[in-house]
């Protein structure tokens, strides 16, 4: 058997791990400073919780978990012999892996509503699983990094999310970012004006693909969804409007006006707070059907697709019977941000540094002598290592190199006797003969 | 539908989350200081990788993932109608959730052997899943926190692990800890001496249950495994020996001598390094069959069961075709350590602190004024929040209380005019009228 990870999944190596942690720590630190609280939910949810929440396409991508033990015992009498996979699932699988963090969060809020102080500001950084066709940059296990406020309808929440997005992306060193905002109410107003209320969802799903399939693709998609040519022209013309006043004059008397009010407030305040990347984008739609207000999508001019997105949903917890709890949130695409930082060479150099000192192992007595120094360094919080085996110096130096060690300490029996040993700086190649006391005082 | 987590799993609330992070951060910081590198592996492994690695009992506890799409299409012709669950699994499930971190780690090492610099010191903090019967303190999803060195047979690695264990547990504030060590070679020598080589595994499995079922339980278990009464008496007598010299005289000429040499070296050096909790424990056996040398188990006198355990394995990667790579590692039971710290009230108080300041929201104009102060505080790295809605003061103060906020700032329209506002210390109840500049200089 050739050992390998399952198709579409991958291991994270130490070098990747420190970079991922840099992203997660940057996010967490910002989230905490803004008063958001972390939660985690189990990898598995009951299938009832997840199914029907992501549309037909999404449902197919959910990983189901086979019931433990004699799972066939729950299959009704005749079902098995001529069973179809689709009908059998419910009998042999009660649980599934989470597909995103939003639905489990809605479940969490409803389940723990009596223990939560609202407005509840939470963040969550966990993997999700989707049985998508694996392709470059798209995995079957990937990490989401979500931040939501639930139980407050105030636009100050949207504003705060925009502040957090700017802060996180700037701390990550990213430039060429645009934070597009739009409002589902404007899209509703547009549908209202064009008499397309019944096809609102078709319109949103088609528009959401603009990035991937271009304006012509969207046009085709709208045609295929039986929207009239004139309406399509109007839709596409509206999505090019950049001026909210102009949009208001066109959509007077529709639901769009409220959406425009909201965007004007947010854009005005974003300006006051010097959030320089926030821009109105009339073509923004977001595919998920639970959004009801402001929608947000963050792009980089150096990278296709969005690196962060979200919006306001007025009734997500309604899915689980708790009505009227408005929320708003965004999700940072940690894996995409990783790829972008890697591509632009933006990860801080110090992330790839190894331990400060490696002590070469010349034999048991020398190693035990060095071990005491290593322990003292560690007590002072300095990362230090003793090579565990007395192998050839060349091999130990090559290990030091691969690990990105800053200094190598060479303590043989002569050095123990003389009380002085060589400390080699692996970056500059410089060497100096020093005492153990020198070492501790230099590095501490 | 009542929203609930699947049986045996649970959500982690914000209050629990900060405590868990305290444990993980303490572990990670120590691991890094000792030069260990973090990796992660996917939640799913190919079923072949996992099955047969945990014994019959373990195999049954693995969660299998149903193949996506038309999973029945791979079931051979007649199999389905009269299928047994046990035989059907391999046709409808290719992947499973990881059961521990050790087997995936072995798979990782073999798969990436050409990219790894040995000795490879790695740590890994990830959840694992077991379809165990849920009970108090035992969950179907729980977190393991593993640290291993692979590719070095030196006992300095065992010594280092003992140092790390002492450091982590002491940083967590735990007292009353004992770090028991034994050696599988001693148990082998004992089996050799008693002519029980063929029943070595039975002996180990029975002895491993000492904590749970007591000495009489172990006796019964050994009887049920067809070990002769005289041998049982001898085994139990040996496990009570506390002196290595005495043990050596009894087990002269067997494999035990090498094991005793190793323990003498480690105990001697542990003494030199002032590791005060390390003790020889002849009754220690460890249930897993891949251990071949030193074994370690850490207990608290305030808590049943072990909170950290591990040992040396000479050929774990041999499972995947890479022979002769010796390794040693331990696993910290993060959930048990959590329960123990909670029980002993040892989590630092500052963990439950909320944001430093909450600004009360008296209306749009006041809120926007406060928002600028909030933003300035955050720029200085101070966690601050503005309540998003202009609701009743009582509700906002109650929110501040629940969130564990240190200060509340009350800025109404009069305060904006006068340039002074009230800052209330929620811990002492003290109030002071201050200017925005005072606020920034006091808290920054």
* Inter-CA distances, B114 with A1, B110, B185, B322, Å: 18, 9, 32, 12
Interchain pair A35, B122: CB under 8 A: no
Residue predicted with more confidence, A205 or B44 = B44
- Give the Cα separation of A99 and A51 in Å (integer): 10
* A3, A21, A42, A402, best to mutate vs chain B, most B CBs in 10 Å: A3
CATH code at position B413: 3.40.50.800
Interchain pair A69, B84: CB under 8 A: no
Quick check: is B3 in a domain?
no
* Contact list, B33 vs chain A (CB under 8 Å): 378, 381-384
Asked if residue B297 and residue B161 are part of one domain, the reply reads yes
Express as a percent the part of chain B with pLDDT over 90: 83
pLDDT at B108 over 80: yes
Task: State which of B282, B313, B343 marks the end of a domain.
Answer: B343
Quick check: is B9 in a domain?
no
Tokens encoding B286:
């460890």
* Contact list, B272 vs chain A (CB under 8 Å): 368, 372
- Give the Cα separation of B203 and B216 in Å (integer): 14
Q: Which residues of B258-279 are buried (b: 16+ CB within 10 A; e: fewer)?
A: ebbebbebbbebbeebebebbe
Nearest to A166 by CA among A18, A59, A346, A298: A298
Residue with tokens 């153990």: A436
Nearest to A369 by CA among A412, A405, A420, A422: A412
ω before A119 within 30° of 0 (cis)?
yes
Asked if residue B364 and residue B290 are part of one domain, the reply reads no
Interchain pair A320, B1: CB under 8 A: yes
- HEC letters along chain A: CCCCCCCCCCCECHHHHHHHHHHHHHHHHHHHHCCCEECECCCEEEHHHHCCCCHHHHHHCCCEECCCCCHHHHCCHHHCCCCCHHHHHHHHCCEEECCCCHHHHHHHHHHCHHHCCCCEEEEEEEEEECCCCCECCECCEEEEEEEEEECCCCCHHHHHHHHHHHHHHHHCCCCCEEEEEEEHHHHHHHHHHHCCHHHHHHHHHHHCCHHHHHHHHHHHHHHHCCCCHHHHHHHHHHCCCCCHHHHHHHCCCCCHHHHHHHHHHHHHHHHHCCCCCEEECCCCCCCCCCCCCEEEEEEECCEEEEEEEEEEECCHHHHHCCCCCCEEEEEEEHHHHHHHHHHCCCCCHHHHCCCCEEECCCCHHHHHHHHHHHHHHHHCCCCEEECCCCCCHHHHHHHHHHHCCCEEEECCHHHHHHCCEEEEECCCCCEEEECHHHHHHHHC
Interchain pair B111, A34: CB under 8 A: no
Quick check: is B90 in a domain?
yes
* B148, B155, B275, B388, best to mutate vs chain A, most A CBs in 10 Å: B388
**What confidence tier does B311 reach under pLDDT thresholds 50, 70, 90?**
very high
Return the residue of B nearest to A78 by Cα: B81
- Quick check: ipTM above 0.90? yes
Q: What is the mean pLDDT of residues B179-206?
A: 94
Of B45, B66, B375, Cβ closest to residue A273: B375
3-class secondary-structure state, position B80 = coil
Task: State which of B283, B316, B343 marks the end of a domain.
Answer: B343
Of B43, B269, B361, Cβ closest to residue A368: B269
pLDDT at B373: 95
Asked if residue A120 and residue A231 are part of one domain, the reply reads yes
Asked if residue A437 and residue A297 are part of one domain, the reply reads no
ω before B119 within 30° of 0 (cis)?
yes
Helix locations, B281-430, DSSP H = 334-343, 364-379, 393-403, 413-418
pLDDT at A77: 67
Tens digits of residue pLDDT in B359-385: 999 999 999 999 999 999 999 999 999
Asked if residue B358 and residue B339 are part of one domain, the reply reads no
Quick check: is A3 in a domain?
no
Interchain pair A389, B37: CB under 8 A: no
Tokens encoding A138:
């798209």
Asked if residue A279 and residue A144 are part of one domain, the reply reads yes
Interchain pair A149, B63: CB under 8 A: no
Interchain pair B35, A383: CB under 8 A: yes
Q: What is the pTM of this model?
A: 0.94
3-class secondary-structure state, position B433 = strand
Rounded to a whole number of angstroms, the distance from the CA of A57 to the nearest CA of chain B is: 12
pLDDT at B288 over 80: no
Tokens encoding B92:
């409808």
Interchain pair A6, B156: CB under 8 A: no
pLDDT (tens place) for every residue of chain A, 444 residues total: 689 999 999 999 999 999 999 999 999 999 999 999 999 999 999 999 999 888 888 899 999 999 998 888 878 766 666 677 888 888 899 999 999 999 999 999 999 999 999 999 999 999 999 999 888 778 999 999 999 999 999 999 999 999 999 999 999 999 999 999 999 999 999 999 999 999 998 999 899 998 889 999 999 999 999 999 999 999 999 999 999 999 999 999 999 999 999 999 999 999 999 999 999 999 999 877 789 999 999 999 998 889 999 999 998 899 899 998 999 999 999 999 999 999 999 999 999 889 999 999 999 999 999 999 999 999 999 999 999 999 999 999 999 999 999 999 999 999 999 999 999 999 999 999 999 999 988 887
Number of domains in chain A: 2
Residue pair B73/B91 in contact (Cβ under 8 Å)? The answer is no
pLDDT at B74: 77
CATH code at position A272: 3.30.930.10
Asked if residue A194 and residue A333 are part of one domain, the reply reads yes
- Give the Cα separation of B384 and B370 in Å (integer): 11
Rounded to a whole number of angstroms, the distance from the CA of A199 to the nearest CA of chain B is: 29
Question: Which backbone phi and psi does A205 adopt, to 5 degrees?
Answer: -65, -40
pLDDT at B320: 93
Strand partners, A181: A280, A296
Asked if residue A394 and residue A301 are part of one domain, the reply reads no
Quick check: is B407 in a domain?
yes
Q: What is the mean pLDDT of residues B190-211?
A: 91
Asked if residue B265 and residue B232 are part of one domain, the reply reads yes
pLDDT at B391: 97
pLDDT at B79 over 70: no
Asked if residue A226 and residue A154 are part of one domain, the reply reads yes
Residue with tokens 């977190």: B143
Tens digits of residue pLDDT in B122-176: 999 999 999 998 887 789 999 999 999 999 999 999 999 999 999 999 999 999 9
**What confidence tier does B102 reach under pLDDT thresholds 50, 70, 90?**
very high
Interchain pair B63, A61: CB under 8 A: no
Of A107, A121, A127, Cβ closest to residue B3: A107
Quick check: is B2 in a domain?
no
Q: What is the largest CA-CA distance in chain B?
A: 93
Domain residues for the domain of B43 are 14-343
Quick check: is B31 in a domain?
yes
Rounded to a whole number of angstroms, the distance from the CA of A117 to the nearest CA of chain B is: 7
**Beta pairing class for A278-280 and A294-300:** unpaired
* Inter-CA distances, B417 with B370, B412, B421, Å: 13, 9, 10
Q: What angle do CA A223, A226, A229 make, to 5 degrees?
A: 55
Asked if residue A384 and residue A305 are part of one domain, the reply reads no
Interchain pair B388, A156: CB under 8 A: yes
* Inter-CA distances, B246 with B181, B194, B241, B242, B252, Å: 17, 17, 8, 8, 10
Quick check: is B8 in a domain?
no
Rounded to a whole number of angstroms, the distance from the CA of A135 to the nearest CA of chain B is: 17
Kindly list the strands in the beta sheet with A384-386, ordered across the sheet, starting from the edge strand earlier in the chain.
A384-386, A357-359, A407-410, A421-425, A431-434
Interchain pair B61, A42: CB under 8 A: no
Task: State which of B312, B343, B374 marks the end of a domain.
Answer: B343
pLDDT at B241 over 80: yes
- Give the Cα separation of A18 and A14 in Å (integer): 6
Asked if residue B269 and residue B362 are part of one domain, the reply reads no
Mean pLDDT of chain B: 93
Nearest to A146 by CA among A323, A315, A311: A311
């Amino acid at each position: 058997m050739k050992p390998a990870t399952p198709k579409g999944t991958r291991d994270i190596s130490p070098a990747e791990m420190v970079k991922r942690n840099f992203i997660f720590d940057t996010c967490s630190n910002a989230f905490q400073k803004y008063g958001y609280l972390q939660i985690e939910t189990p990898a598995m949810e009951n299938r009832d919780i997840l199914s029907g929440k992501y549309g037909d396409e999404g449902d197919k991508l959910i990983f189901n978990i086979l019931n433990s033990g004699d799972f066939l015992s729950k299959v009704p009498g005749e079902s098995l012999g001529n069973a179809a996979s689709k009908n059998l699932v419910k009998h042999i699988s009660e649980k599934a892996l989470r597909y995103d963090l939003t639905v489990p969060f809605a479940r969490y809020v409803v389940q723990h509503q009596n223990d939560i102080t609202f407005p509840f500001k939470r963040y969550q950084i966990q993997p999700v699983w989707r049985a998508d066709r694996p392709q470059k940059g798209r995995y079957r296990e990937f990490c989401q990094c979500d931040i939501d406020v639930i139980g407050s309808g105030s636009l100050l929440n949207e504003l705060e999310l925009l502040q957090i997005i700017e802060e996180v992306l700037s701390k990550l060193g990213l430039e060429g970012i645009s934070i597009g905002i739009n409002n589902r109410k404007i899209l509703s107003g547009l549908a209202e004006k064009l008499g397309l209320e019944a096809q609102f969802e078709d319109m949103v799903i088609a528009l959401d693909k603009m990035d991937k399939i271009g304006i012509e693709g969207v046009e085709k998609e709208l045609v295929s969804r039986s929207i009239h040519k004139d309406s399509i022209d109007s839709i596409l013309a509206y999505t090019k409007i950049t001026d909210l006043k102009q949009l208001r004059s066109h959509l007077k008397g529709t639901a769009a006006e409220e959406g425009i009010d909201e965007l004007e407030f947010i854009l005005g305040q974003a300006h006051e707070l010097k959030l320089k990347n926030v821009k109105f984008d009339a073509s923004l739609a977001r595919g998920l059907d639970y959004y009801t207000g402001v929608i947000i999508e963050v792009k980089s001019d150096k990278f296709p697709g969005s690196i962060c997105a979200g919006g306001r949903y007025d009734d997500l917890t309604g899915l689980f019977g708790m009505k009227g709890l408005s929320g708003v949130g965004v999700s940072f695409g940690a894996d995409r941000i990783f790829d972008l930082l890697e591509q632009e060479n933006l990860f801080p150099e110090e992330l790839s540094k190894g331990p400060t000192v490696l002590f070469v192992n010349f034999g048991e007595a020398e190693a035990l002598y060095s071990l005491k120094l290593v322990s003292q360094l560690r007590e002072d919080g300095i990362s230090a290592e003793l090579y565990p085996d007395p192998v050839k110096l060349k091999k130990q130096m090559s290990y030091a190199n691969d690990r990105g060690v800053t200094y190598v300490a060479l303590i043989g029996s002569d050095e123990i006797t003389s009380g002085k040993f060589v400390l080699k700086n692996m970056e500059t190649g410089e060497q100096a003969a020093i005492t153990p006391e020198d070492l501790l005082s230099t590095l501490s």
